[in-house]
Amino acid sequence: MTDIRISLFGPLTVRVDGDVVELRGPQTRAVLARLALAGGQVVSTDRIIDDIWAGEPPPKALGGLQVHVSHLRRALEPGRVRRAPATVLVSSPPGYALRLPTDAVDAWRFEALLRTAPDVADAAARADVLRDALDCWTGPVLPEFGDEDWAVAESVRLAGLRGAALEQYADVALGLGRHGALIPELERHLEADPLREEAVRLLSIALYRAGRQSDALARLRDARRRLADELGIEPGPALRTVEADILAHSDVLLHRAPVERHAEPSPPEALPPRDSRHHATMIGRVDELARIDGAAATVAVDGLRTVWIGAEAGGGKTTLAGVAAQRLSLRGWAVARGRCPEVDGAPPAWAWVEVVRSLGGDAPAPRTAFELAVVVRDAVRAATADGPLLVVLDDLHRADGATLQLLRSLAHDVTDRPVLVLGAHRGTESGPDLLATWAALAPVTAERLELGGLSRAGVVALVAEHTPEGTAGLDPDVVDRLIERTDGNPLFVAEFARLIASEGRAAAAAEVPAGVRDVLRRRLSRLPGSARTVLQQAAVLGRELDVDLLLQVARRDEDEVLDGLEAAVLAGLLGEPGPGRVRFTHALVRDTLYDDTPALRRARWHAAALTELRALPSPDVAALAHHALAAATPATAAEAAGLAAAAARQALELNAPAEAMGLASSAVRMADLAAGGVPAGELVGMLVALTRAAAQSGAADRARPARARAVAVATAAGDDELLLAALTAYRAPISWTVSGIGSDAASIEQPLRHALAAHPDVDPVTRVWLLVALVFETENDAAAYGMDEVLAWSREAVIIARRHGDPVALCAALNARVYLSLGPDLADEREGLAAELLSVAQQHGLLGYEALAHWLLFLCASARTDLTEAIRQADLAVERSTSGQLAALVQVVEVYRAVLAVLAGRVDDAAAEYRRLARQMAETGMSSAAEAALVFELVLAFARGDTSGLADVMVGLHDVHPDAMNEALVLCLLDAGRVEEARARWSTRTPVRRNYYWLARMALHARAAARLGDVEACATTYGELLPWAGRVAGIDSGSVAFGVVDDALALLAEATSRPDDAARHRRDARSVDAAVTAQLATAGLTPRSPSPSGGSPA
């Protein structure tokens, strides 16, 4: 171990292992002296520059300072391996510090001994300690820097401490009878400062005891004269007392044993430990910390709980989570952290890989969602075996589907464990998947914290924390403008404070920057140009990066790169999370650098990163794809397409379909860009991946065009194998029609039919997928294709799938068959098919189909008016849903609760919920949001007994889609008194589609026929509706309610002159109402009307 000694008393001297080290130049020596005088504390680069260059730094002062630091490091640690971290002169934001033992610097040792002396009980030992302290002085403090303000102030302070130390030593030594030896030292002391009254008093006593009474009195008279002449004051009580005692030959002047404890001058301020580091403080968030503590207190009893922390960028969410983690860690909690990458290029569910690794587990790059889920579950169970666990998930607004799926699974798998999950996110950037996750985890959510801006006091405190002078002298108007401009955003305020520290208060008074990025740009502009370039290159590699990789990508001198990184660390723009790694302190720092880099230069650096990453033994395909896409040109686009397609397949394996969809879409885009294109087989593979990813994301509007193009490419290539892959590309649980009104289903239907006919011997599983695809392409308009044929396709698919044992294909076949049963056909098979689907899905871990099965069982229970069971199954569907299903299934539950409110007669409550959902659907870009909003309004209007207000809207819809809810349009027109128009529209009606809205529409159809007096239609409709008596019309869809079917049957009976049947149906309707009322009470909804089924019987 290297022995380093630094002397500040006398000329600055450095010895390493006993040898004197020559330091280059006065400024290098000044840097070391400035740091040594700080006593081991951090001195900011701005302060060093200001001091060394006397307030007039050159344009590249920071670069010059780094050169001096580099020289000093080589001098102080000559044996340090290149690029090994410095251990003596260390970088520590916002500057540098010396990390040495106290004895290594004479001034530090002097102060440490002086602080120790009062604690020594034995007088002789105390005198020895004080003597050792005084012996540290071998000359004045740094005389070569005697004209520098920074040195003068410290020299005066240390000299004052030496005087106090000498007087303290003399006092103890007099008690020990050592007066003779004291006289010369005290005389020299007074020659330097003749007005020190305590020194005069001690010297006078020493002289008196040495038998020199006249000299003692002469000293006292001289002190009196000097005090009067120079200060105009009389001697203090101590001097007057000792003079009187000498004249009286008082016994008190005789030698006596000293007291065991002796007062001393106030010691200098204690320095913090030399290895201390800056820790983030929490300004203005006391209440939020208390609420997190409260949530933590509940997990031991209640099991897993979540706390959500939302804030805008720079709002302090990460800091709050970090402080909360520190507090809980001190109480014995285990803490695990994971962060969702804020830039592309990381594998899906990466936050959970970090969580497992922080718990000491082995989490290699994830391969499948199931494998990672097991690893996470087991790691959490092991971590909670002996105590509670805090899991911090940061930047959840950037979470992929796999991350959120694992969070929901964890809540299900370890619900009884003492786990607190802190999820931090940007509220304004939270997408539908995160919103749905909040809804799904509502039962275990303990707190929702939304962080606003800091108060004025908080802003002032934060400015004070980041500026050396605090807020003293800061113009209140500047504070007011800062608060107005920043809204108290902690990052903005802190960066502005650092700007004040760098540019001075004049800059603060002159202008408050328009935004935090402007503040960052001004701070970045103070760095050397080479450092800014290095940071731009680092920004291309992401929020956190490996320094070795940066060196390879930068292709610059190693020292230049390292100096640039160090400058950024000192400026607080980068942190060092681990050896050989750096991390931007905030995403906005990285984003600002990245966005301000010209696109061409960014592309070249991405290309360099791709080259270096590809050379690694096991490169990550997601990172390769990210850089390849960012660097792509027509010449390299084909390679980028292949990498993006591989990354999309990986994301699908990890149950991150949204991320897979983006990657697959990029792959197709690159294939189109590529000079000369790509082979048809590769393009079809990319389109198949895009179809599958979009389907699993619930984005049928993107899946169908991708599949259609894949079919077209495969057909043009004349490759049957490619064509079969394209036709069967849509593989995802389906709970809503994917063909849609006015869709291009016919263009897919014919190739499907042809494939089935042309390949009768195709392998059974492929045939199942072909049949399933054909069912879903035709089900929405089965009448046009023949319902019997559609039902036959579904039957064949189930028979083949049951026989050949492929669980995914069997689930898909059951999905198609049970979907058709949601209408009036196959109703008796519905519940059995749903139960079989659930069994297969659970047995094989097919989460998406398991959620679908619960949704189907929800519809089954709702159809038979078992409301309690329906709610239970709906909650299970949400709990087991995949990321692509979650948002839709959460909406299913929320819509159903609105339906229940309608049934309970709480129409105003239902209206508020329906309209909130309609706004949410529109905001998230749901393609059928407008139609859903209209259906919701129709339910509400029907429940209130007057649909006239919707007449014009329904007319407009019907003009565009003539077969859309003709019966509802007619009722609206009748309620509006537009009878003839209603009759005209009625005459153009088309058969009601036999899908899961069939019963709802038939109940409206019955009412329209009865009110129009269409006896023939009434008779026909009566026969079709009669088997459905005893139900609430529409509730089997889970989203609407149009009265009890028996009320509609009563109207039809009256219209066909059967009053007895009408009376019987009305009695039955009231029985249904009573049963519904009882179940609503069980569900916690108290009906407000005597007819909970909603709507008037007329």
CB 540 within 8 A of CB 570: no
β-pairing, 389-394 vs 334-339, is: parallel
Together in a domain, 159 and 184: yes
Q: Is 597 domain-assigned?
A: no
| Residue 961 belongs to domain spanning | 867-1082
Instruction: Choose among 696, 754, 698, 702: nearest CA to 727.
Output: 754
- Helix, coil or strand: residue 893: helix
Retrieve residue 925's tokens.
Answer: 């870009």
- Rounded Cα distance, 945 and 686, in Å: 53
Retrieve residue 377's tokens.
Answer: 């579950």
CB 167 within 8 A of CB 202: yes
Residue 398's pLDDT is 85
Chain centroid to CA 922:
25
Q: At what angle do helices 1015-1025 and 998-1012 cross, to 10 degrees?
A: 150
CB 851 within 8 A of CB 811: no
Chain centroid to CA 927:
29
- Rounded Cα distance, 318 and 324, in Å: 10
Q: Which neighbouring-strand residues pair with 574?
A: 584
Together in a domain, 30 and 72: yes
CATH number reported for the structural domain that contains residue 883 in this entry: 1.25.40
CATH number reported for the structural domain that contains residue 299 in this entry: 3.40.50.300
Which spans in 656-736 are helix H?
657-673, 680-696, 700-717, 720-727
Name the residue type at position 68.
H
Together in a domain, 921 and 1062: yes
Give the Cα-Cα-Cα angle 848, 651, 924 (nearest 5 degrees): 65
Together in a domain, 122 and 48: no
CATH number reported for the structural domain that contains residue 43 in this entry: 1.10.10.10
List, in order, residues 6 or more apart from 340 with CB less than 8 Å away. 350, 351, 393, 394, 395, 396, 397, 398, 399, 400, 403
CB 307 within 8 A of CB 444: no
- Helix, coil or strand: residue 328: helix
pTM, two decimals, is: 0.74
Together in a domain, 43 and 116: no
- Rounded Cα distance, 472 and 478, in Å: 12
Together in a domain, 292 and 329: yes
Q: Is 1089 domain-assigned?
A: no
Q: Is 821 domain-assigned?
A: no
Which residue, of 102, 130, 161, is where some domain finishes? 102
Q: Is 533 domain-assigned?
A: no
Residue 222's pLDDT is 85
Which residue, of 732, 761, 792, is where some domain finishes? 732
Q: Which neighbouring-strand residues pair with 96?
A: 43, 91
Together in a domain, 29 and 162: no
CB 383 within 8 A of CB 360: no
- Helix, coil or strand: residue 582: strand
β-pairing, 389-394 vs 419-425, is: parallel
List, in order, residues 6 or more apart from 912 with CB less than 8 Å away. none
Together in a domain, 1048 and 935: yes
- Helix, coil or strand: residue 994: coil
Domain count along the chain: 6
Retrieve residue 500's tokens.
Answer: 């004040």
Retrieve residue 990's tokens.
Answer: 């088309």
Retrieve residue 824's tokens.
Answer: 């009036």
- Rounded Cα distance, 593 and 520, in Å: 9
Q: Is 578 domain-assigned?
A: no
- Rounded Cα distance, 126 and 132, in Å: 10
Instruction: Choose among 888, 901, 972: nearest CA to 935.
Output: 972
List, in order, residues 6 or more apart from 1074 with CB less than 8 Å away. none
Instruction: Choose among 817, 818, 920, 811: nearest CA to 859.
Output: 818
- Rounded Cα distance, 896 and 996, in Å: 15
CB 1009 within 8 A of CB 1018: yes
CATH number reported for the structural domain that contains residue 125 in this entry: 1.25.40.10
Q: What is the DSSP string of 230-284?
A: II--PPPHHHHHHHHHHHTT-GGGS--PPPSS---PPPPPPPPPTT--------S
CA dihedral 9, 15, 21, 24 (to 10 degrees): -40
**Cβ count near 960 (within 10 Å):** 9
Q: Is 538 domain-assigned?
A: no
Is the bond preceding 94 in cis, omega lying within 30 degrees of 0?
A: yes
- For the chain (1098 residues), the mean pLDDT of every run of 10, in chain order, is 89 92 90 92 86 81 87 91 86 88 93 89 88 89 88 86 87 81 83 81 82 84 84 84 81 61 40 35 78 90 91 84 90 91 76 87 62 85 91 90 86 89 84 80 88 81 69 65 73 73 57 68 82 94 92 90 89 86 87 92 95 91 94 95 95 89 96 94 96 91 92 95 96 84 58 94 96 91 75 96 94 96 89 97 93 95 91 90 81 89 92 90 76 92 95 90 87 96 93 89 97 96 96 93 96 96 96 91 64 47
Together in a domain, 22 and 157: no
Q: Output the CA torsion sign for 987, 992, 993, 997.
A: positive
For residue 235, the 8-state DSSP code is: P
Q: Is 664 domain-assigned?
A: yes
Long-range pairs, 552-555, Cβ under 8 A, ≥24: 552/608, 552/612, 553/605, 553/608, 553/609, 553/612, 555/608
CB 876 within 8 A of CB 868: no
Buried b (16+ CB within 10 A) or exposed e, 568-588: bbbbbbbebeeeeebbbbbbb
CB 509 within 8 A of CB 577: no
β-pairing, 95-98 vs 89-92, is: antiparallel
Q: Is 78 domain-assigned?
A: yes
Together in a domain, 941 and 904: yes
Q: What are phi and psi of 390, to 5 degrees?
A: -105, 125
Q: At what angle do helices 966-975 and 951-960 cross, to 10 degrees?
A: 150
CB 938 within 8 A of CB 946: no
Together in a domain, 620 and 703: yes
Instruction: Please report which helix (H) or strand (E) contains residue 305, including its range.
Output: strand 305-310
Chain centroid to CA 46:
32
Which residue, of 504, 526, 548, is where some domain finishes? 526
Q: How are strands ordered across the β-sheet holding 419-425?
A: 334-339, 389-394, 419-425, 305-310, 445-450
Together in a domain, 910 and 1033: yes
First CA to last CA distance, the chain: 97
